[in-house]
Amino acid sequence: MGEKTAISFEFESVSSPKIKVLGIGGGGCNSVDMLMDEKISGIELIAVNTDKYSLERSRAEIKIQIGETVTRGMGTGGDPDKGRESAQKDSDRVMKVIEDTDILFIASAFGGGTGTGATPVIAELAKKSGILTIAFIMMPFEYEGPSVVEIAEKGLVELRDYVDSLMVVHNSSALNMELTKTPIEVFREINRILLNAVVGIRDIIFNPAYIKLDLSDVKNYLYGKGKTLIGVGEADGEKKGEEAIRRAINSPLLEQESIAGARSVLLHVTHGHDTTMKEILRIMEIIREEASGKMEDIDVNLKTGFSLNDEFTGKIRTTVIATDFIEDELGETVKETEVLDKRTGENLGVEGPEPVLPMDPAKPNAKGTPSSVPTIKGGEDFEPPATTRRKATRKPPFLTKKEEEEKKDIQARSRSIFPASFEKFFGEDE
């Protein structure tokens, strides 16, 4: 008898991925409360606020009061500087709660002081410690007035540098829904986008699948990507595949309301035994059609996972993460606001979005989004005032040296990804 060889395996202890949702300020904490109502498992929910009394009412599992010495337990009264200072003062306590996180969703409503001021500070802390950070930002109703809207938009400019992925909802978009809904129902509808994103990502990572996507895939698709659409769609009936995917890739309340221009799509399909290959292929076809938008021959980097589940007989659920959006060329969603002469109150026309430039010029803007020039009444670029958000196809009127370099870099990378269509897409001059 030969000598017996004892083989022993040593495994590093691997803990399962941690997903947390952290709500900041009044609106952010409301979002967390609404998630508590859904009783979703596998997700830790945290509420952060300056306002001690509103925090006491929160149903979150973990509550962190920030800035006691700054606001003495009250809100900031709409002052983002106080929100920022409060987060800075208590950053250690926030870090302690999030340091073991793999994916952090930050929910915050902008326009007040706590959410707007504290969110960029906390996002920066999270991102710097290597946590995948996804922000879900709710922008104020337009009726709240230009100063609230301006605070919110400045906050968004600041935040962009500190998150991997950004989902923005304008509260005003929800007013296009039935106006018979109560304000709470409207907020719940908005929050459903966050709920779907959180549950969708959890399911991709944890649910059993015969072709499996995992935490690394989710991270690869979301790290440093900026604008993001995460959607879930479910349907039954004859066209269940087609309807499910259309529901997932259209999110009318999100600023990024469709996947047009997305170069990277992660798709997870959950189906029953009755789903055919034809239905699956139709789903892929729709993704490619919708992502390409008006452009032909542009390829989409599409990675897929599949779960077979008896409970899904007769229905299909699709979960989509769309990123790497090509902006401008396909028509960027821009917010245009009326410009009033501060002295006379005269309406001067409309201006485009706030220039998306880094707050600190020494710090690069992660997205390198070009700045815009306001169009002023009487000038060559005059357009009628727009009081509602609408789409516009815009080319950057000029680029800074840095933006020019970033553009060249993007073009070089794009040339290697889809060389055949490059000339057609970017023009022949590069």
Q: Tell me whether residue 143 is exposed, middle or buried, using C-beta atoms within 10 angstroms of its C-beta: 0 to 12, 13 to 18, 19 or more.
A: exposed
Is 393 strand, coil or helix? coil
Q: Which stretch binds ligand GTP (CB under 6 A): 22-30, 93-101, 295-303, 420-428?
A: 22-30
Alpha helices in 13-129 (DSSP H): 25-37, 52-57, 68-71, 80-89, 91-98, 114-128
Query: Of residues 42, 62, 73, 144, which one binds ligand GTP by CB under 6 A?
Result: 144
- Considering only residues 203 to 222 of the shown chain, the ones binding ligand GTP according to CB under 6 A are none
Is 24 strand, coil or helix? strand
Decide: is 78 part of the binding site for ligand GTP (CB under 6 A): yes
Distance of CA 396 to the CA centre of its chain: 23
Q: Give the pair of three-digit tokens for residue 356.
A: 């998306």
- Considering only residues 38 to 67 of the shown chain, the ones binding ligand GTP according to CB under 6 A are 50
Q: Cβ of residue 121: shortest distance to Mg ion, in angstroms?
A: 16
Decide: is 171 part of the binding site for ligand GTP (CB under 6 A): yes
Nearest to 112 by CA among 190, 194, 226, 28: 28
Specify the residue, 51 or 217, whose C-beta has the smaller distance to Mg ion: 51
Total of chain residues touching ligand GTP, rule CB under 6 A:
24
Q: Which stretch binds ligand GTP (CB under 6 A): 21-29, 123-131, 339-347, 397-405?
A: 21-29
Q: Which residues contact 302 (CB under 8 A, 6 or more apart)?
A: 264, 265, 266, 267, 284, 287, 288
Specify the residue, 193 or 267, whose C-beta has the smaller distance to ligand GTP: 193
Decide: is 75 part of the binding site for Mg ion (CB under 5 A): yes
Give the CA distances from residue 61 to residues 18, 123, 368, 419, in Å, rounded to whole numbers and listed in that order: 15, 20, 38, 51
- Say how far apart CA 250 and CA 333 lie, in whole Å: 14
Q: Which parts of 237-376 are beta strand (E)?
A: 262-271, 301-308, 315-325, 332-334, 337-340, 347-351
Q: Which stretch binds ligand GTP (CB under 6 A): 3-11, 36-44, 74-82, 237-245?
A: 74-82
Q: x/- contact string, 173-202, with ligand GTP (CB under 6 A)? A: --------------x--x------------
Q: Cβ of residue 49: shortest distance to Mg ion, in angstroms?
A: 6
Query: What type of residue sits at position 371?
Result: S
Q: Cβ of residue 302: shortest distance to Mg ion, in angstroms?
A: 42
**385 interacts with, out of Mg ion, ligand GTP, none, CB within 5 to 8 A per kind:** none
- Considering only residues 399 to 428 of the shown chain, the ones binding ligand GTP according to CB under 6 A are none
Q: Cβ of residue 175: shortest distance to ligand GTP, in angstroms?
A: 12
Query: Of residues 22, 51, 165, 370, which one binds Mg ion by CB under 5 A?
Result: 51
Query: What radius of gyration, in Å, describes the C-alpha atoms of the chain?
Result: 23
- Say how far apart CA 83 and CA 66 lie, in whole Å: 9
Q: Cβ of residue 76: shortest distance to ligand GTP, in angstroms?
A: 3
- Say how far apart CA 21 and CA 45 lie, in whole Å: 5
Interacting residues toward Mg ion by CB under 5 A: 26, 51, 75
Interacting residues toward ligand GTP by CB under 6 A: 25-27, 30, 50, 75-78, 83, 109, 111-115, 138, 140-141, 144, 148, 171, 187, 190
